[in-house]
Amino acid sequence: MAKKFPLNPPHPERLCWGCDLYCPSGALACGNGAERTMHPVETFGEDWYRFGDLAISPEPGAKHLEPPAATRK
């Protein structure tokens, strides 16, 4: 079974997110190349899981970001 993929990890830059190993950025074990795979939060922002039809939702009771009430439609 695959590890749970965190929506907003505290320090995504410290890990490679390319596979289920989640290796430290300086010690890649899967051999996927010389660079680490960035977490989507680094590329698309903290609400990355809301775009498209990824079918990802926060777990009940989990801390997640909601848009401010003034910007909700």
Which one is predicted more confidently, 69 or 5? Answer: 5
What's the predicted TM-score (pTM) here? Answer: 0.66
pLDDT at 15 over 50: yes
| Segments making up each domain of the chain, as ranges | 11-56
| 26 Cβ contact partners less than 8 Å away, ≥ 6 residues apart | none
Rounded to whole angstroms, how far apart are CA atoms 36 and 43? Answer: 13
Average pLDDT over residues 41-70: 69
Q: Which tokens sit at 1?
A: 């079974």
At 36-49, the pLDDT tens digits run 899 999 998 888 88
